[in-house]
């Protein structure tokens, strides 16, 4: 072997190979991604858009593979932002290999996406996932008919048990070593072949098209894509389109192609299914119960109540332990630091402020763990299905409800998720209403106030807040669609995932990916805000009288509007700083009241009445979105107009709700 040949082989082994993973929603794509990459993954955005992407890596036989998780789509039609991102990425030739994930119990729906990828000409592996669940229902699948007909590897896997993982890794490794791609050729009916040949012959005479799609002039992808989805996003010249229409009845040809494709896929899938299996199982019985129009709603409310009850009961001992640790740390620093202002900064500022937020880490992570269980098990999509009828009365669909649920974690990805909503008018109303969805950043404020004033009914109050949050999003959307936008009724189509028992690994990844942002904020924006609040509280009297500090002056500006609610300048100042991030409300109170988390409870009990505290909870639930959310609204609506509107709109609504809660709550409390 020559040195050059040896060098080429070494480079082939060492060079990182890029694999993309794609599939319909709810086929177990994310679970398979987690199985392959473990914790070696991170989340970013696609260049130029705010659609989220997940990237991971793994090694096999000394070769490093980069795995890119593409959005869950049914086709590459580019009608939605997710589809456009997936299509643009796949035709860019960035990815060496594409793994298409299909559902063993719904194989046919994934074949349409598979066909498009074969037409593009990428190295493709079909993964038929959840074969363990298929076997439970008696369904037996033989992958050889699909593999032989389409000339692609087909692997049977279970992301839950790890079955098929080694075969998939081996197949990906083999394909990564192939330098020259042998493009797969699908044999179409004669009329379709004639159209493809005519299209390819003519397109080569148009330099603008041939330069843009130079890698696809000789493949069937471009003519078939045009035939199936039209020319809207292909930017084909008008004279080229005219020539096509003069020689072919495009609409008739499209219908013939779609009929042929549907029949071919049906035959291919039926040839691969040796045994259909039973039509029902325990999972199907559960589906009927959980999606019942009355019983299902009651179960959903009970599920949320159970989640909140467990969050409070399991987390409180851990929070008390953390509070004791921060108190001990503060006392220790006081003994060693003799400079008064530095001691005040470290103890009253950093320790009290950041520690006052970090003591809620157990509640945050436990809540996300249980919400992750509901999502990973397949229950939350059923909640969206349940409320579709209710949501339609407010001009929304069940798809919008999925964004609201996502908003329980963070409003930013919730707003970004509206890209999947085809109706632009519904989407705008939802974007402007989603800041009312009660994100996790507000959770420390809720826990602090509920623990201080309503500890015996903590789960009930928390449930009331979250249900009120959902109701507020719905009512706001109806209001905005009536007075600002108009909405068109569109059907809601959702493919419900089957019930699955989530794995501890997937739940751990889910919980960490959502909870870590809380920790990142504590080390960044919360720390900075805490120091700033301490400076405003310490000066100009050097900590001798906080009532005449800059912080007090800021809060007193709003006292004429809040005195009747029982909020003094201390409460107001915390709310003002909470605009940056809602967790800062807690750290602000810890700094301003100059106490730790345990003592802060008693300080607030002396500063507020139960009615005032309840009004404050609902004000925090609704008022001004954080800076990140406002920036996302600006990005999604292409300007500051709606971001400024959201700033004013949410503040006014929050103030009205706080007054309503205060006066109505005062009757019962």
Q: Is residue 559 included in any domain, yes or no?
A: yes
The tokens 């691969």 sit on which residue? 272
Whether omega before 540 lies within 30 degrees of 0, making that bond cis, reads: yes
Pairing of strands 63-69, 17-23: parallel
Residue where one domain finishes, among candidates 177, 199, 219:
177
145 assigned binding-site residue: no
Confidence of residue 167 (pLDDT cuts 50, 70, 90): very high
Q: In which residue are the tokens 């999604």 written?
A: 636
Residues paired with 156 in a beta bridge? 128
Q: Known binder of ligand: residue 638?
A: no
Calculate the CA 340 to chain-centre distance: 46
Show which of 275, 310, 332 is a domain's final residue.
Answer: 275
pLDDT in the model for residue 182: 59
Mean pLDDT is lowest, of 180-189, 216-225, 321-330, 602-611, for: 180-189
Q: What is the predicted pLDDT for the residue at 9?
A: 41
| Helix (H), strand (E) at residue 41 | strand 41-45
The rounded percent of the chain whose pLDDT value lies above 70 is 85
123 and 36 within one domain: yes
**Short-list 125, 103, 131, 104, CA closest to 170:** 125
Overall average pLDDT of the 647-658 stretch: 95
What are 105-159's pLDDT values in tens digits? 888 888 988 988 888 888 899 999 989 888 888 888 999 999 999 999 999 999 8
51 annotated to a ligand binding site: yes
Instruction: Report the C-alpha gap between 282 and 10 in whole angstroms.
Output: 52
140 and 57: one domain?
A: yes
Is the domain of 335 the same as that of 253? no
* Residue 27 annotated in ligand binding: yes
69 assigned ligand-binding residue: yes
In a domain, 568, yes or no: yes
Query: What average pLDDT score do residues 184-205 get?
Result: 84
- Say yes or no to pLDDT of 175 above 60: yes
Q: How confident is the model at residue 282 (pLDDT cuts 50, 70, 90)?
A: low
208 and 263 co-located in one domain: yes
**197 annotated to bind ligand:** no
Place of tokens 């020559």: 2
Domain shared by 215 and 68, yes or no? no
For residues 584-598, give the mean pLDDT. Answer: 77
pLDDT tens digits along 337-351: 878 778 777 877 677
Residue 130 annotated as lining a ligand binding site: yes
**Structural domain includes residue 416:** yes
Per mean pLDDT, which range of 280-294, 602-616, 649-663 is the poorest? 280-294
121: annotated binding-site residue? Answer: no
Q: Cβ neighbours of residue 501 under 8 Å, at least 6 residues apart?
A: 160, 377
For residues 536 and 405, state if they share a domain: yes
Are the beta carbons of 386 and 296 closer than 8 angstroms? yes
- pLDDT tens column, 250-259: 889 989 998 9
Domain count for the chain: 3
On whether both 315 and 264 belong to a single domain, the answer is no
Q: Is 247 assigned to a binding site?
A: no
- Is 555 flagged in the annotation as binding? no
Task: Identify the CATH number of the domain in which residue 26 sits.
Answer: 3.40.50.300
Distant-in-sequence, close-in-space partners of 160: CB < 8 Å, separation ≥ 6: 28, 31, 130, 132, 500, 501, 503
- pLDDT tens digit sequence for 38-59: 766 655 544 444 456 788 889 9
Q: In whole angstroms, give the CA distance from residue 422 to residue 399.
A: 10
Residue 246 annotated in ligand binding: no
30 annotated to bind ligand: yes
pLDDT the model gives residue 71: 82
Question: For position 616, what pLDDT does the model report?
Answer: 96
Domain of 235 in residue numbering reads as 190-275
Give me the phi and psi of 293, to 5 degrees please.
-65, -25
**10-14, 71-75, 456-460, 489-493: least confident range:** 10-14
493 inside domain: no
Q: Which residue has the tokens 């669940």?
A: 133
pLDDT value of residue 13: 42
37 is in an annotated binding site: yes
Evaluate if residue 585 carries a pLDDT over 70. yes
Lowest mean pLDDT among 2-16, 290-304, 511-525: 2-16
52 is in an annotated binding site: yes
Residue 10 pLDDT level (bands cut at 50, 70, 90): very low
Contact in structure between 110 and 146 (CB atoms under 8 Å): no
Banded model confidence at residue 495, pLDDT cuts 50, 70, 90 = low
Spatial separation of the C-alpha atoms in residues 191 and 259, rounded to whole Å: 13
- Does 258 appear as a known binding residue? no
- pTM, entire model: 0.62
Looking at the fold, whether 331 and 244 belong to one and the same domain comes out as no
> What pLDDT score does 591 carry?
83
Q: 433-459 burial by CB neighbour count: b if 16+ within 10 A, else e?
A: bbbbbbbbbbbbbbbbbbbbbbeeebb
Say whether 108 sits in a helix, a strand or coil.
Answer: helix
Question: Is 355 domain-assigned?
Answer: yes
pLDDT confidence bin for 501, thresholds 50/70/90: confident
* pLDDT attached to residue 41: 62
Residues 324, 209: one domain? no
What is the reported pLDDT for 648?
Answer: 94
Residue 129 annotated as lining a ligand binding site: yes
In a domain, 209, yes or no: yes
Q: Within this chain, do residues 558 and 433 fall inside the same structural domain, yes or no?
A: yes
Q: Annotated binding residue at 28? A: yes
DSSP state string for 156-184: E-BTTTTBTHHHHHHHHHHHHH--S----
DSSP string, 264-313: HHHHHHHHHEEE---S--HHHHHHHHHT-TTHHHHHHHHHHHHHHHHHHH
Do 536 and 422 sit in the same domain of this protein?
yes
pLDDT value for 491: 47
Name the residue with higher pLDDT: 168 or 501: 168
Average pLDDT of 608-637? Answer: 91
Angle of CA points 442, 444, 449, to nearest 5°: 100
Q: Are residue 515 and residue 621 in the same domain, yes or no?
A: yes
Mean pLDDT for 192-209 is: 82
Better-predicted residue by pLDDT, 317 or 157: 157
- Asked if pLDDT for residue 163 goes beyond 80, the answer is yes
Residue 24 marked in a binding site: yes
Sequence-separated (6 or more) residues with CB below 8 Å from residue 590: 352, 353, 355, 356, 357, 596, 597, 600
Residue 500 maps to a domain = no
| In-domain check, residue 142 | yes
The answer to which of 8-17, 106-115, 315-324, 598-607 has the lowest mean pLDDT is 8-17
* Residue 157 pLDDT: 94
**Predicted local distance difference test score (pLDDT) of residue 279:** 58
25 is in an annotated binding site: yes
Tell me the average pLDDT of the chain: 81
Q: How confident is the model at residue 165 (pLDDT cuts 50, 70, 90)?
A: very high
The answer, yes or no, to whether residue 5 has pLDDT greater than 50, is: no
Higher pLDDT, 136 or 266: 266
Among the candidates 177, 210, 232, a domain finishes at 177
């Amino acid at each position: 072997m020559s040195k050059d040949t040896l060098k080429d082989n070494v480079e082939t082994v060492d060079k990182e190979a890029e694999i993309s993973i794609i599939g319909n929603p709810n086929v177990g794509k994310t679970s398979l991604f987690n199985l392959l990459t473990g914790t070696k993954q991170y989340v970013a955005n696609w260049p130029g858009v705010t659609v989220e992407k997940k990237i991971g890596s793994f090694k096999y036989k000394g070769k490093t593979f980069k795995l890119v998780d593409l959005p869950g789509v049914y086709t590459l039609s580019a009608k939605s932002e997710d589809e456009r991102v997936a299509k643009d990425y796949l035709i860019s030739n960035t990815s060496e290999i594409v793994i298409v994930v299909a559902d063993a119990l719904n194989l046919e729906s994934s074949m349409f996406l598979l066909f498009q990828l074969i037409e593009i000409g990428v190295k493709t592996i079909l993964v038929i996932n959840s074969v363990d669940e298929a076997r439970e229902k008696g369904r037996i699948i033989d992958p050889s008919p699909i593999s032989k007909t389409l000339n692609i590897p087909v692997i049977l896997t279970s992301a839950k048990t790890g079955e098929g993982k080694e075969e998939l890794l081996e197949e990906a490794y083999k394909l990564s070593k192939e330098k020259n791609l042998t493009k797969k050729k699908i044999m179409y009916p004669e009329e379709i072949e004639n159209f493809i040949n005519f299209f390819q012959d003519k397109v080569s005479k148009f330099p603008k098209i041939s330069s843009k799609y130079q890698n696809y002039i000789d493949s069937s992808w471009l003519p078939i894509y045009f035939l199936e989805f039209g020319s809207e996003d292909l930017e084909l010249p008008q004279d080229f389109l005219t020539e096509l229409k003069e020689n072919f009845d495009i609409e008739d040809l499209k219908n013939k192609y779609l009929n042929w494709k549907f029949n071919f896929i049906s035959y291919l899938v039926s040839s691969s299914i040796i045994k259909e299996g039973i039509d029902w199982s325990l999972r199907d019985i559960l589906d009927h119960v959980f999606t019942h129009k009355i019983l299902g709603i009651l179960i959903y409310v009970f599920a949320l109540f159970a989640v909140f009850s467990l969050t409070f009961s399991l987390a409180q001992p851990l929070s008390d332990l953390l509070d004791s640790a921060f108190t001990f740390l503060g006392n220790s620093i006081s003994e060693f630091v003799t400079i008064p202002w530095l001691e005040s900064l470290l103890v009253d500022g950093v320790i009290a402020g950041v520690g006052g937020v970090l003591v809620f880490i157990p509640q945050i992570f436990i809540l996300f763990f249980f919400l992750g269980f509901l999502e990973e098990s397949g229950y939350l999509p059923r909640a969206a299905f349940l409320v579709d009828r209710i949501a339609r009365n407010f001009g929304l669909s069940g798809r919008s409800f999925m964004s609201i649920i996502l908003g329980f974690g963070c409003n930013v990805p919730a707003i970004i998720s509206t890209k999947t909503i085809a109706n632009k008018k519904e989407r705008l109303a939802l974007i402007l209403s989603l800041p009312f969805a009660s994100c996790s950043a507000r959770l420390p404020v809720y826990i602090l106030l509920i623990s201080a004033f309503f500890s015996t009914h903590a789960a009930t109050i928390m449930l009331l807040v979250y249900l009120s949050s959902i109701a507020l999003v719905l009512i706001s959307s109806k209001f905005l669609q009536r007075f600002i936008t108009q909405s068109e009724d569109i059907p809601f189509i959702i493919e419900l995932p089957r019930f699955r028992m989530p794995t501890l690994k997937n739940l751990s990844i889910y919980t960490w990916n959502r909870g870590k942002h809380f920790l990142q904020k504590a080390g960044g924006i919360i720390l900075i805000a805490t120091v700033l609040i301490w400076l405003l509280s310490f000066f100009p009297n050097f900590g001798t009288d906080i009532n005449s500090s800059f912080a007090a002056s800021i809060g007193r500006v709003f006292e004429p509007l809040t005195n009747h609610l029982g909020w003094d300048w201390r409460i107001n100042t915390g709310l003002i700083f909470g605009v940056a991030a809602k967790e800062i409300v807690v750290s602000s109170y810890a700094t301003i009241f100059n106490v730790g988390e345990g003592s802060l409870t008693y300080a607030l009990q002396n500063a507020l009445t139960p009615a005032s505290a309840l009004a404050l909870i609902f004000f925090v639930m609704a008022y001004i979105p954080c800076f990140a959310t406002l920036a996302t609204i600006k990005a999604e609506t292409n300007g500051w107009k709606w971001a400024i509107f959201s700033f004013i709109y949410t503040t006014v609504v929050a103030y009205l709700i706080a007054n309503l809660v205060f006066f109505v709550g005062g009757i019962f409390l």
